[in-house]
Chains A and B, each alone.
Chain A
Amino acid sequence: MVSTQEITTRGKASDVEAERLARVEGAAYRIRRHALNMGEVQGQGYVGQALGAADMLAAVYADQLRFRADDPEWEDRDRFLLSTGHYAIGHYAALAEAGIIPVKELETYGSDDSRLPMSGMSTYTPGMEISGGSLGHGLSIAVGAALGLRYQGSGSRVYNFLSDGELDEGSTWEAAMGAHHHHLGNLTAMVDINALQADGKTDTVLRTEPVTEKWQAFGWYAQRVNGNDVGALLAAFDNAAAQAAAVGRPSVILCDTKVGRGVPLLEDREKAHFMRIEEHEWQLCREQLTAGFEGKAAR
């Protein structure tokens, strides 16, 4: 296993890497800002998760994923499967950042007749590959997609985003075994470990640790990183490509994240699956987010 620190150090090695890092961090900032704006429309929602996962989503859409913004069904695209349907708020923000849906449309999030329902569905939204939300499904679908693409000679990759809560589901582990058995080097799973589920902290709901060792035991190339460190994420993707894909091994990037990341007001709030934010707080959240981002950029 590669340590977070080592990955971080290597991730910042060159000017090209610095440019790459700045691009993805910029995308992550805008994804967070979109998510706050969308949350304000509803007055509540899965804003905390979106903020926590923004760096992972940015790394995918601004760095890893091969896609055509004007042709979301492009046959040779890589597939990003959002298993965790309620993270749709973050995914829509990423789709807008990627130019697949208009930024203006984000304000319809969760409203009647919107293409952007609270829980992501493939039948509603361009660029949404699957109907997630019933947790523990995404990785099984990803296994089939990876098998299907490989059988058809496609070089496309499959990325499955899932949460640590989904590690409770037996189906996740059925799929983990299947991916290893079928040597799916074209499959990368990303697990958002925010240590929070609907009924409370993950270690009080159902202990999933040791997570890294579990995935390793299932035959995966497993890396655990700070999921709010873009450099670490990018380095982990690079490692996965070099170490796993080439030898037909599925890869998982286990991402420790912080609910509400980027907005101190929310980072410090008592963590809740469904975060309530008061009307007057939204502007403050945006200001804190921007101040943090600009402060980091200045450094």
Chain B
Amino acid sequence: MSTATTPKLKTSAMIASFADPGQKTASAPFGHALVKAAQENDKIVGLTADLGKYTDMHIFAQAFPERFFQMGMAEQLLFGAAAGLAETGLVPFASTYSVFAARRAYDFLCLDAAEPNLNVNIVGGLPGLTTGYGPSHQATEDMAIFRGMPNLTIVDPCDSLDIEQAVPQLAASTGPTYLRLLRGNVPTVLDEYDYTFELGKAKVLRGGRDVVFISSGLMTMRALQAAEALAAHHVDVAVVHAPTIKPFDAATVLAELNTDRLAVTLENHSVVGGLFETVASAVVTAGLGKRVVPVALPDEFLDAGALPTLHERYGLSVQRVVAKVLAELG
């Protein structure tokens, strides 16, 4: 219990920015990107299940009220209706939290959108560990759930630039897609690199002689920060960003992995069924006898708490990544 004499505690928050203090950010990059795409493509419509403000869909709703459909807190209706809209030739982007899309509405996405291969774009907020609210809101296994769905493209963007560039490509791709949304003030990181988002492609952001990081989502930001920090320890780290989890760019990733460097995957997701296992299956399929070290969330229901506390606790912080690499290198 809090009393006047106890120090102020860090608190958990539903929506917590993972941007570092002073970091360059962009506000609501998804909402603005969708508006821009919709200005060029009059087939784009938006819908949400009572989470417009929390998925940046409100930006689109304000710009195109006649093209926005509020479905209420009814995720099965949300995605069934998105499929129905797509059946009539429209290009829906439907947003809710990742937990509800993956856990609650899976059957609707699977049968209504994926089986007929419709252009339904799922926008999932709070992917992985991006909220301190505990397992009800932490979609730590969303990619594991969705990877088994045929026809579905899965994108785990790193930053605002990834999101801005991904949205029009998701609209242009024919089948269903799932975007692991980063919302609110989203860090802008990849503009410092010679990088553009290409759906289905992994990109080498930086080279390095000793270690190769394969990362997706916000962990690419941490990977780049960890690479900088490891340079101080005279460890030279390459970073490969693989934002498209499915279909996976195995050729680019395996070319980078098939060396003597320490290979580490980094993801904001359970160690089960996400980037690590995607990479591992590509390695085994290609017959490479290569060890891969995962940086990922444990196969557990995670604690509630403040996001920095939890990222440190579960190994997603830069400090924990650096320590893990140094330990691996002995």
**Which of B66, B77, B86, B111 contacts A134, CB < 8 Å?**
B111
The interface stretch among A58-66, A89-97, A168-176 is: A168-176
Q: Is the CB of A171 within 8 A of B77?
A: yes
Q: Is the CB of A148 within 8 A of B74?
A: no
CB distance from B65 to the nearest CB of A (A): 12
A144: chain B residues at CB < 8 Å are 80-88, 92
Q: What is the interface of chain A mostly: helix, strand, loop, or mixed?
A: helix
Given contacts A131-B112, A131-B115, contact A137 B80 (CB under 8 A): yes
Contact A131-B84, Cβ < 8 Å, known A140-B76, A151-B66, A174-B74: no
8 contacts between A and B (CB under 8 A): A131-B111, A134-B107, A140-B80, A140-B108, A148-B84, A148-B88, A175-B81, A178-B72
The reply to whether the CB of A147 lies closer than 8 angstroms to some CB of chain B is: yes
B67 CB contacts on chain A under 8 angstroms: 151
- A170 near B116 with CB under 8 A, answer no
In this complex, the member of B72, B82, B107, B115 whose beta carbon has the largest number of chain A beta carbons within 10 angstroms is B115
Chain B positions within 8 Å of A, measured between CB atoms, are 45, 66-67, 69, 71-72, 74, 76-77, 79-90, 92, 107-108, 111-112, 115-117
Could you say which of A130, A142, A170, A177 contacts B72, with CB atoms under 8 Å apart?
Answer: A177
Question: What chain B residues lie within 8 Å of A143 (beta carbons)?
Answer: 77, 80-81, 84
Q: With both chains docked as a complex, state the minimum distance between the C-beta of B76 and any C-beta of chain A, in angstroms.
A: 4
A111-134: CB near B (< 8 Å → 1, else 0) gives 000000000011100000111011
CA distance A121 to B116 in the complex (A): 8
A residues near B, CB below 8 A?
79, 121-123, 129-131, 133-134, 136-137, 139-149, 151-152, 154, 170-171, 174-175, 177-178, 181-182
Please indicate the chain B residues that have their CB under 8 angstroms from the CB of A145 in the complex.
84-85, 87-88
- B89: A residues at CB distance < 8 A: 148, 152
Q: A140-B84, A141-B83, A178-B77 are in contact. Are A148 and B71 (CB under 8 A)?
A: no
Q: How far is the CA of A142 from the CA of B82 in the complex (A)?
A: 10
Residues of A within 8 A of B81 (CB): 140-141, 143-144, 147, 175, 178
Q: B90 to chain A: which residues have CB within 8 Å?
A: 148, 151-152
**B80 pairs with A148, CB closer than 8 A:** no
A122 touches B84 (CB 8 A): no
For B87, the chain A residues whose CB sits under 8 A away are 79, 129-130, 141, 144-145, 148
Beyond the given pairs A145-B85, A178-B81, 7 more chain A to chain B contacts, judged by CB atoms under 8 angstroms and listed by A's residue number, are A122-B115, A131-B115, A140-B80, A148-B45, A174-B77, A175-B74, A178-B71
| Complex Cα–Cα for A148 and B45 (A) | 9
> In the assembled complex, how far is the CB of residue B172 from the closest CB belonging to chain A, in whole angstroms?
19
> Are A142 and B115 interface neighbours, CB within 8 A?
no
B residues within 8 A CB of A133?
A: 111
Measured CA separation A178–B76 after assembly (Å): 11
Q: Which chain A positions have C-beta within 8 A of B80?
A: 137, 139-141, 143-144, 171, 175
